[in-house]
Amino acid sequence: MMRGLRGFIQIIDEIGKALLFLSEIIKTLLFRPCRKSLVFEQIWHVTVESFATTAMAGFFVGAIMAVQFTVQMKEFGALGYLGGLATSGTFREVGPLLIAFMLSGKIGAFTSAELGTMRVTEQIDAIRCLGADPMQEIILPRFLGIIVSSFFLLFLGLLMSVFGGMFLGYSLAGVNPEEYVRHIPTIITAPSIATGLVKCFTFAVVLATICTQKGFYAVGGAKGVGKAVVSTAVTTMIAIVVMDWLTSFLGEVFLQMAIGS
């Protein structure tokens, strides 16, 4: 009982730390914005490093969804709707979640390790001694760069999932690409696309907040950096799952309100 209570308190403490850190970043963004060149440098760096990984992950996510739906659609003789159903499931739920997991392991771990190394080697303290604000010069550019890059990469992964599903649909079930694509606009609606984009943006903010916060406050030398990286990976995945549920729940609530009105 006490162990469970301590675990719950620790979770609340982690959420509070992340929210306070996010508020500091937003305050810095509003009153002491960083140079745009630093942001573009981070966007370019993150995008180039993760482009191939995200594209491959998206391709195979779409392929997996196509395989799962093919078995069911064959029983009903409705393989013509394979593209629409597989793409809808990928855009609304599975795609953003799995691709965000991939990015959290690549972008999140790298950023946390980089900032943690700067902290334990006293580079961040040196920046502060020179009269500069580490939040403005180091954290904010990475935070904005990760959000923009992650949102773009998640969207790229969703697009690649269509090609992955198309490839598997043709090779496994004999559904030609034209037939696969034909029913996508009839099933993929504007709310479905909006849900996927909202999830992409939400996951990007979660990833950027946690990895920068964990790295910035790392302590204990090289061992502390390792702990920060592990904590980043675990916390990010849990937070992404929770935010996935929250965005899905709120999306259904707003949809029902729209239908009711």
Average pLDDT, the chain: 83
Q: What angle do CA 19, 24, 26 make, to 5 degrees?
A: 90
Of 72 and 62, the one with more pLDDT: 62
Each domain of the chain, given as residue ranges in start order, spans 36-260
pTM of the model as a whole: 0.85
Nearest to 119 by CA among 219, 39, 187: 219
Can you read off the two tokens belonging to residue 229? Answer: 């990286």
**With bands split at pLDDT 50, 70 and 90, how would you rate the model's confidence at 5?**
low
d(CA 150, CA 144): 10
d(CA 16, CA 47): 30
Task: Please say if the pLDDT value at position 181 is more than 60.
Answer: yes
d(CA 212, CA 208): 6
Q: What is the pLDDT of residues 77-129, one digit of tens each?
A: 667 777 777 887 777 777 788 778 888 878 888 889 999 999 988 888 888 88
